[in-house]
Amino acid sequence: MATTATVHAHAAPQGFIRKYIFSLDHKIIGIQYFFLALTAVWIGMFLSLLMRLHLIFPTASLPLIGEIKPEQYLSLLTMHGTIMVFFVLTTAPQGGFGNYFLPIQIGAPDMAFPVLNMLSFWTTFVAFVVLICAFFVQGGAPLHGWTGYPPLSAVQSAGPGEGLGADLWITSIAIFCIASLLGALNFLTTTLDMRAKGMTLMRMPLTCWSWFITAMLGLLAFGVLLSAGILLLLDRNLGTSFYVPLVVVNGQIMGHKGGSPLLWQHLFWFFGHPEVYIAILPGMGVTSQILSTFSRKPIFGYKAMVYAMLAIGFFGFMVWGHHMFMSGMSPYSAFAFSILTMCIGVPSAIKTFNWLGTMLKGRIRFKSPMLFAIGFVSLFVSGGLSGPFLAQPVLDIQLHDTYFVVGHFHLIMGVAAIFGMFAATYYWVPKMFGRMMNEFWGRIHFFITFIGTYAIFMPMHYLGIAGGTRRYSQYTEVAYLAKLQPIHVFMTYAAIITIAAQFIFVINLFWSIFKGPKASDNPWEATTLEWTTATPPPHDNFNGVTPVVHNGPYEYGVPGAARDYVMQTDPAISSAAAH
């Protein structure tokens, strides 16, 4: 291992451009990913604010923006989903925190392929720029939703935004896929080849396991989306018919013949369902890490946690059809997909059980990271338990494509994952930037965001049960929907307050990076390797020393130990105490 590590060591760069722009250092690249995601999340959140305003004032003229038309609402919806899923939920937890902390937590000086790592980031950046351009071309951004079902997404005349805007959209996603494939290769190789002496797989922190499994999912899923996207581009521009049968749009016969709209759905969801786990697994990892650290207790059932994540990853590839129960797919396959979907609920339940078990009989310290980790567990439970409704085809008859689904996935893969990122930010910013974040404002931020999140997304379930269809720009044209409008009004006001509270976070973040109190090397009294090195870590992470690991990742409250935590590099605790 040590020889592999020295091969990959590279000297610290001196110039500004090589140090901060085209850096090969995984730490700088991690920070680049983090700030890209932070930019993206503000754009995505702003789009959702416009959507929520349009939903309750459909004909209002907004300052600077004017009136939002129904097709523009759908563009906002498409771009909100695409930005959030790809450039926030995929980018920050894996590209950001994973990049920064995977090598340090396994005791490596850098990622296995530093140049590839730099390319991954800059390819992601290009993908983001291409996507944003879609807003500014003729016809605007596409209106086909982040799922882009053809023929709507494949026929240029099917709606405004389906021209150049849609081409940019799918091109951006294809570029993003390439970036993610490069990143996944790097994460897998690094985890397998670069671990320090003594860092066996079963001594890795659960964060490393989550990034490792996420990379496996990414490697298998993004290739499929890339192929699917190329076929869509061909259908759109070269007259092929992979996804489009003979269709008549606005009375005009299009030149396609014999394609299958369901083919796209199969390919898209073959990527799309694992993508859900790509978004949430790193959140699970960091939540496990933080719950253990701040409860001052070993994680409950470490092995069960690892196997549960592996099971989630494995089953994650066999459940895509549950997005398609109403699509016209064979009703027999719906049976298989729904049983497998229920199975994936089991490892998720195990994880929840173990998080509660970790807190049980602990001595919980309520710092901001811990608050967000507890918030993650709460949201994961709430979002997870609507899963067994949607996994039943017979209930999907009523719930599919309603706000029940929107509430479900926002709670679990949206805000639960975001809470994972908040927890990670409060937890690791001291290590990354050498300064502590403000605790008081961290708490205020937590409580407003936590209550606000529930106020936005819980009512969506009520709306869905009553038949509230999603992706409607307004509820004015259908009588039973118009009666549900008060729920929309409530959610919009909840969203405004919750979005306002995010200013607290971002001001706290930037103020702390520059002016916060200096952080010690191990401010949380944690056990994993990133807390053994300097704050912030030197260029090669461990100042020329290769750490040697003797202990598991979560040894808190070890009987007979000098202090209430034993670091991974401390002398091995006796095996009697370990069991």
Rule CB under 8 A: which of 177-216 touch another protein? none
Residue 305 Cα distances to 309, 402, 565, angstroms = 6, 33, 21
Q: In angstroms, what is the minimal distance from the CB of 482 to another protein? A: 11
Q: In angstroms, what is the minimal distance from the CB of 577 to another protein? A: 8
Of residues 244-263, those binding another protein (CB under 8 A): 244-251, 253, 258-262
Listed residue (411, 429, 409) closest to 367, CA to CA? 429
- Residue 54 as a binder of another protein (CB under 8 A): the answer is no
For 202, the token pair is 């079963």
- Residue 228 as a binder of another protein (CB under 8 A): the answer is no
- Residue 57 as a binder of another protein (CB under 8 A): the answer is no
Beta carbon nearer to another protein, 65 or 326? 326
- Residue 144 as a binder of another protein (CB under 8 A): the answer is yes
Distance separating alpha carbons of residues 139 and 81, to the nearest angstrom:
19
Residues 180/222, Cβ–Cβ less than 8 Å = yes
Residue 530 Cα distances to 2, 190, 522, 526, 570, angstroms = 18, 16, 9, 9, 14
Of residues 63-92, those binding another protein (CB under 8 A): 69-71, 74
According to CB under 8 A, which one of 200, 489, 507, 564 is a site residue for another protein?
564
What residues contact residue 455 under an 8 Å CB cut-off, 6+ apart? 490, 491, 494, 497, 498
Distance separating alpha carbons of residues 388 and 378, to the nearest angstrom:
17
Tokens 């979005």 appear where?
499
Distance separating alpha carbons of residues 169 and 82, to the nearest angstrom:
9
Distance separating alpha carbons of residues 142 and 83, to the nearest angstrom:
13
According to CB under 8 A, which one of 20, 335, 503, 510 is a site residue for another protein?
335
According to CB under 8 A, which one of 170, 276, 319, 334 is a site residue for another protein?
334
Neighbours of 115 (CB within 10 A): 12
- Identify the three-state secondary structure at position 565: strand
Q: In angstroms, what is the minimal distance from the CB of 285 to another protein? A: 17
- Residue 298 as a binder of another protein (CB under 8 A): the answer is yes
Of residues 531-550, those binding another protein (CB under 8 A): none
Q: In angstroms, what is the minimal distance from the CB of 574 to another protein? A: 13
- Residue 442 as a binder of another protein (CB under 8 A): the answer is no
Q: In angstroms, what is the minimal distance from the CB of 470 to another protein? A: 8
According to CB under 8 A, which one of 63, 559, 571, 575 is a site residue for another protein?
559
Q: In angstroms, what is the minimal distance from the CB of 512 to another protein? A: 20
Q: In angstroms, what is the minimal distance from the CB of 370 to another protein? A: 9
Contact pattern from residue 157 through residue 176 relative to another protein, giving x for each residue in contact according to CB under 8 A and a dash for the rest: -xxx----------------
According to CB under 8 A, which one of 239, 255, 328, 538 is a site residue for another protein?
328
According to CB under 8 A, which one of 1, 50, 219, 304 is a site residue for another protein?
304
3-state secondary structure labels for all residues of 157-178: HHCCCCCHHHHHHHHHHHHHHH
- Residue 556 as a binder of another protein (CB under 8 A): the answer is yes
Stretch near another protein under the rule CB under 8 A, chosen from 36-44, 428-436, 528-536, 555-563:
555-563
Contact pattern from residue 371 through residue 410 relative to another protein, giving x for each residue in contact according to CB under 8 A and a dash for the rest: x--x--xx--xx--xx-xx-xxxxxxxx-xxx--------
Q: In angstroms, what is the minimal distance from the CB of 61 to another protein? A: 19
Beta carbon nearer to another protein, 282 or 362? 362
Residues 425/504, Cβ–Cβ less than 8 Å = no
Q: Is 11 exposed, middle or buried (0-12, 13-18, 19+ CB in 10 A)?
A: exposed
For 469, phi then psi, to 5°, come to -70, 150
For 26, phi then psi, to 5°, come to -60, -25
Q: In angstroms, what is the minimal distance from the CB of 554 to another protein? A: 8
Q: How far is CA 98 from the centre of its chain?
A: 12
Contact pattern from residue 464 through residue 503 relative to another protein, giving x for each residue in contact according to CB under 8 A and a dash for the rest: -xxx-x-xxxxxxxxxxx--x--x----------------
- Give the interface size with another protein as a residue count (CB under 8 A): 121
For 32, the token pair is 């680049």
Residues 240/336, Cβ–Cβ less than 8 Å = no
Tokens 């995984």 appear where?
26
Beta carbon nearer to another protein, 194 or 324? 324
472, amino acid identity: Y
